[in-house]
Copies of this chain bind each other. A is one copy, B any other.
């Protein structure tokens, strides 16, 4: 397609999505849940064909030189398919939030005023190679009564086309418009530029991918973007603190998995417990090959137990860094005030935890730390839509506007005012 054709094509997708969204917005819960269960069944029935399509993507990617974790992320195995099918079925069992009316109160004029939860309309999703995101996004769109336009990574185009065809089949078989979930069928980059600049048809854009992708999209978008930038998460070990618990949590927050955005990248330790705590966590990290980039005081303490190759002085840049790797920055701070000041200055406002026995410190940390998730005595790795009971997650927002933190179905809805009168007029 040339640029003009792509513009036309995207406008067509947009108009179709908008038209479909009027239908999905008023679809009964039973119809949406039927579509989700039908989709789950189709995914299982068509697993061999889906894996063949995925195999073509994998071969093309390998031929073009893709290797290692990037190639792994593209793979759609039997287990991945079962996971997304189960996810659809779980969504089907969740209560429907669309149409829910809350806060209905009588006002002095006699009118009663409340708010009704309604779908936001049409969302555009732009994501990188993992093809299972196609089903996650489609199923959230169905459950929330929205329409969506999906733009996956070019490496996964065959897998995504095969998955999207099943989604449209499930929609049609359940009496919903197939256009409620549309995949952008071209891998041309121009299509993204169009998708993010159609305020007439698209209400919000949700990008999932690296910080570069999200910054590019935010800069060019003409509609709101639910942004998930980086996750420079902190774990702060307070004084007083149960150090055994602190070792367990600081270990988990860093090492349970290195790549997620909610892994801790920085460890802050109150001066009063640093001498006891740092050697204990230092031994644990060192045993797992985690490199520690430390302030002078932490460096002095850690040097007694950590081999030199895993211990380095931290630079100013280290305090800003999201490593997504077996590296952690370590700083000794005077106490909770200094920890909060450090976090609010260096953090990416994703997720921060205080480990403490002090009730006042816990309350202050929860109130004053300006991040999308603030935790007491728990691993930052819990910052996740499933762990928070949202049932599903379309992304994590590091913005404050509209949705903050893990975004589930409610993040894809808005509230309209409902007014019930009996003939009242304004005087």
A residues at B contact (CB < 8 Å) = 22, 25-26, 99, 105, 107, 109, 111, 113, 116, 118, 120-121, 203-204, 224, 242, 245, 248-249, 251-253, 256, 344, 353, 366-368, 370-379, 381-383, 387-389, 400-402, 404-406, 414-427
Within the complex, the shortest CB–CB distance from A119 to chain B, in Å, comes to 9
A249: chain B residues at CB < 8 Å are 423, 425
For residue A121, which residues in chain B have a CB less than 8 angstroms away from its CB?
400
Flag if A344 contacts B22 (CB, 8 Å).
yes
Judging by beta carbons under 8 Å apart, are B421 and A388 in contact?
Answer: no
| Complex-state Cα separation, A425 to B282, whole angstroms | 18
- Contact residues in B for A118 (Cβ distance below 8 Å): 370
**CB atoms of A425 and B256 under 8 A apart:** yes
In the assembled complex, the Cα of A108 lies from the Cα of B224 at a distance in Å of 34
For A373, the closest partner residue in chain B by CB is B417
The answer on a CB contact under 8 Å between A426 and B107 is no
Say whether A378 contacts B203, CB under 8 Å: no
Bound-state CA distance A253–B427 (Å) is 11
Question: Which residues in B have their C-beta under 8 angstroms from that of A107?
Answer: 387-389
B-side contacts of A405, CB under 8 Å: 415-417
Is A381 within 8 A of B426, CB to CB? yes
Q: Which of B204, B368, B370, B423 contacts A245 (CB 8 A)?
A: B423
Closest CB in chain B relative to A263 CB, distance in Å: 10
A20–B405 alpha-carbon span in the complex (Å): 24
Which residues of chain B are within 8 angstroms of A404 by Cβ–Cβ distance?
414-417
Give Cα A378–Cα B419 distance, bound, in whole angstroms: 8
* B120–A379 CB distance below 8 A: no
Q: In the bound complex, how far is the Cα of B226 from the Cα of A414, in angstroms?
A: 14
Most buried by B among A372, A414, A416: A416
Chain B nearest Cβ from A416, distance in angstroms? 6
Q: Which residues of B contact A377 (CB under 8 A)?
A: 420-424
Q: By the criterion CB–CB under 8 Å, are A120 and B401 in contact? A: yes
> Beyond A121-B400, A373-B417, A419-B373, is A426–B252 a contact (Cβ under 8 Å)?
yes
Question: With the chains together, A406 CA to B425 CA distance in Å?
Answer: 18
User: By the criterion CB–CB under 8 Å, are A424 and B378 in contact?
Assistant: yes
Q: Choose among A121, A353, A418 the residue with the greatest number of B CB atoms under 10 Å from its CB.
A: A418
The verdict on A113 contacting B424 (CB below 8 Å), with A372-B416, A373-B417, A418-B366 known, is: no
A376 to chain B: closest residue by CB: B420
Q: How far is the CA of A327 from the CA of B58 in the complex (A)?
A: 65
Q: How far is the CA of A401 from the CA of B366 in the complex (A)?
A: 26
- Apart from A107-B387, A373-B418, A377-B424, 4 more pairs, CB < 8 Å: A376-B421, A378-B420, A383-B417, A383-B419
Q: Pick the contact of A248: B252, B344, B389, B425 (CB < 8 A).
A: B425
Among B113, B256, B383, which residue has its beta carbon within 8 angstroms of that of A389?
B113
- Interface-central residue, A22, A374, A423, by most chain B CB under 10 Å: A423
**Lowest 9 A-B CB distances belong to which pairs?**
A378-B421, A252-B425, A381-B426, A375-B419, A402-B402, A245-B423, A400-B414, A373-B417, A377-B421
- CB neighbours of A420 from chain B (8 A): 375-378
Please give, as numbers and ranges, the residues of chain B lying within 8 Å of A387 by CB-CB distance.
Answer: 107, 109, 111, 113, 426
A137 to nearest B CB, angstroms?
18
Instruction: Check B381–A401 contact: CB distance below 8 A.
Output: no
Query: In the assembly, what is the distance between CA of A113 and CA of B390, in Å?
Result: 10
Complexed CA–CA distance, A373 and B388 (Å): 31
